[in-house]
Each structure stands twice: as structure tokens, then as C-alpha cells.
Amino acid sequence: MLELIALAGLLVAGLAVVSIVGVVFFAIKVLFWAIFLPFRLLFKLLWIPFGLVTGAIGLAAGAAVLPILLVVGLAVVVLGAIAAVLALLIPAIPFVLLGFVVWAIVKANRPAAA
């Protein structure tokens, strides 16, 4: 029983050490964040013109490519519709051929009108 109490004490001591180390690293993180905040704000303000130019170039490229993408998309839709219709009609070919054979037999056995 004493061994379990000792083990529990070691566990609590280990958790205390880990929590202290965590608080120290958190304090260091907050310190670095506070020190580098002005530099981060300055770099973000300096990045605004470059971001706007990059966005404008992307917008122009997108506007130039959009008609091509629409034409290609329309072609894909049309080809897909044709493929869907063919996929529905191709399995019916044997039945259509069987119908033609029955029609030919019936037409061949019909007496000719005089």
C-alpha cells in the first residue's frame, strides 16, 4: 500500500514539474509575442500593396481564362449527356435486333395481296 502512495506522490510531483515548465514556456511565448508584435504589424502594413497587386493579377488571369473554362465545361457536359444516352441505349440493341427478326419473319409469312 505504501508503494502506491509513493507512486501517487511521484505522479503528483511529475505533474507539478510539467505544469511549472509549461507556465515558463507560456510566459516566454507571451514575451516573444509582445516583443515582435510591432514588427508583425509593420510587415503586414508593408505587404498590403503587394497583396493588392497579386490579387489584381490573379483577377485578370481568372477573367482571361474563364471563357475557355466555360467552353470546355459546356463540351464536357454535352459529351457526358451523349455518353449517358448511349449507355442507356446500347443494352437495348439485342432486343431491337430480336424485334427486327420477328418483324421479318412475320412479313415473310404474310400472303401477298392480289
Query: CA-to-CA distance for 37 and 46, rounded, in angstroms?
Result: 14
Provide the residue type at 21 as one letter. Answer: V
Domain edges within the chain: 2-109
Q: What is the dihedral of CA 80, 85, 86, 91, to 10 degrees?
A: 140
SS3 111: coil
Q: What sign for the dihedral angle of Cα 85, 90, 95, 97?
A: positive
pLDDT at 110: 78
* Distances from the Cα of 48 to the Cα of 34, 45, 55, angstroms: 22, 6, 10
pLDDT at 90: 94
Split the chain (114 residues) into runs of 10 and give each run's mean pLDDT: 92 96 96 94 94 96 96 98 95 94 88 67
pLDDT at 109: 83
